[in-house]
Amino acid sequence: MSSALSPEQWLALDVAGIGHAYRQRLGTPVDMVLALRAAIESDRRGINAFCLLDWDSALSTARDIAQRMASGVFLGPLDGVPVSIKDLVNVEGWPTRRGSLADGEPAAADAPIVEHLRKAGAILFGKTTTTEFGWTVLSESPQSGVTRNPLDPERSAGGSSCGAAAQVAAGWGPLALGSDAGGSVRIPAAYCGLVGFKPTYGALPMPPSSAFTEFAHLGFLARRVADCQLAMEVAGVPDPRDQASLFPRRPHEDENRPLRIASALKLGAKQSVDPGMEAAFGQAIARLEAGGQTVEPVDPGLEDLSDAMWTIWCFQVYESFQSWPRARRDRLGEGLQRVYRTGEVLTLAQVAAGRTRLREASASLARLFSRFDILLTPAVPGVAPLAGHYLEHEPGLGDNWFAMNGYAFPFNITHQPALSLPMGQDARGLPYGLQAVARKYHDGLLLQWGRNFERALGVS
């Protein structure tokens, strides 16, 4: 059957639109995959979003799904939807390189999240690039080189889910699986003008675990909040292999009362905020207030967390690689080796002081969220920097990227759901990102608020 939709039309569809097209017999998953392959293979901008593409497997899966759909059997919202996997997550038979020259063995089995996506009918077609072992929010690695922002290829796509963000921003499918241990879904989403959702800790199963398990969340990048909602319906299921996995619970809330919303322009670090970002943030708040929402500015008083977080981060890098043979460790990239050496010489007193400070910050945020349902902040200090830089207006700040963006990582410490949303752009067309954070387990409330925000900005 030939498609009634053009390849361009297939690629413009969101998750719900793809399912609708299949049900209306406008084409099959094979048409979707062929359109995707043609677009990726014809790109001449050097976006470099993928470290692996497996079209044979994707087309085989698409044909099987098309045959099932022809008999009238549809599995759910991700059935026949192409989804990429960040290369920190195992996919059976595909190498897990983690952006490194020191890794790369084919995975013996799917990670639990991949199992859930397959069972839902998702078509896995490739693995997206990541920074080496996800240690930084730049968009480059020794294994795959520089991943570029489709909105301006001279600029960073952010990280560590750099390929996932670049893929969706380029229009190569509506959904990508990323991971976020300090902002690695939300930061690239903000730089690429996307929606990035980090759910409550444990909402998406994470094993195999790592030294970063206490901070690490899986999450989705998409063009619309609704696509994240549909992905969570399918993938946000408990799994006994993850000891943090969330089994069904319902927050006890009065859903009819007005939401209590706070806003903060400063959080987590003392980095400068771009004047354009500050103006865009103020305009977003003003639009919410014009729509009847009350937003109370607050000062969380948490601008000194970045050094403590960097101490723990470096120690976890040391923990990750201290058992490796020296020869293998020497194959790590120069930046990751610097961080390893920093962690290697930390004292117990320094690590204890860092953990103590993060616990204090977590308690302070818990008090804040006892008064408010949602906190709004910028997602990043400004627009996407040039590739190879952390911030456009503050170059050369060293390796501690937490000092350059304090908005994201506090909510990995507290395990809260957080959502990055586009909220306008500068004169060059580069997007500004808004972060919205809700209390733990209130993922549904946050996603619905995000959809309402999109409507307030005129996003259908």
The residues annotated as belonging to the active site are 86, 160, 184
Q: Where is 326: in which H helix or E strand?
A: helix 326-329
Count of domains for the chain: 1
Q: What is the DSSP letter of 98?
A: T
For residue 397, being part of any structural domain is answered with yes
Residues 101 and 111: beta-carbon distance below 8 Å:
no
Sign of CA dihedral 344, 90, 182, 392: positive
For residue 330, being part of any structural domain is answered with no
* Whole-number Å distance between alpha carbons of 295 and 456: 15
Residues 148 and 46: beta-carbon distance below 8 Å:
yes
| DSSP structure string for 124-175 | EEEEE--SGGG--SSSEETTTEE-EETTEEEEE--SSSHHHHHHHHTTS-SE
- Phi-psi region at 93: left, alpha or beta (left = phi > 0; alpha = psi -120 to 50): left
For residue 320, being part of any structural domain is answered with no
CATH number at residue 162: 3.90.1300.10
List the pLDDT tens digit at each of the 460 positions of the chain: 445 899 999 999 999 999 999 999 999 999 999 999 999 999 999 999 999 999 999 999 999 999 999 999 999 999 999 999 999 999 999 999 999 999 989 999 999 999 999 999 999 999 999 999 999 999 999 999 999 999 999 999 999 999 999 999 999 999 999 999 999 999 999 999 999 999 999 999 987 778 898 999 999 999 999 999 999 999 998 888 888 887 766 665 556 789 999 999 999 999 889 999 999 999 999 999 999 999 999 999 999 999 999 999 999 999 999 999 999 999 999 999 999 999 999 999 999 999 999 999 999 999 999 999 999 999 999 999 999 988 776 666 689 999 999 999 999 999 999 999 999 999 999 999 999 999 999 999 999 999 999 998 887 6
What is the CB neighbour count within 10 angstroms for residue 187? 33
Widest pairwise Cα distance in the chain = 67
For residue 313, being part of any structural domain is answered with no
Residues 156 and 391: beta-carbon distance below 8 Å:
no
For residue 420, being part of any structural domain is answered with yes
For residue 287, being part of any structural domain is answered with yes
Two tokens at 244? 């943090």
Query: Model pTM greater than 0.75?
Result: yes
* Whole-number Å distance between alpha carbons of 409 and 406: 6
* Whole-number Å distance between alpha carbons of 444 and 448: 6
Tokens 């929010």 sit on residue: 137
Bridge pairing between strands 374-378 and 261-263: parallel
**Strand residue runs (E) in 330-380:** 374-378
For residue 97, being part of any structural domain is answered with yes
* Residues spanned by the domain of 266: 1-302+358-460
| DSSP structure string for 366-419 | HHHHTT-SEEEEESSSSSPPBTT-S-SSS----S-GGGG--SSTHHHHTT--EE
For residue 144, being part of any structural domain is answered with yes
Q: Which residues pair with 422 in a beta bridge?
A: 433
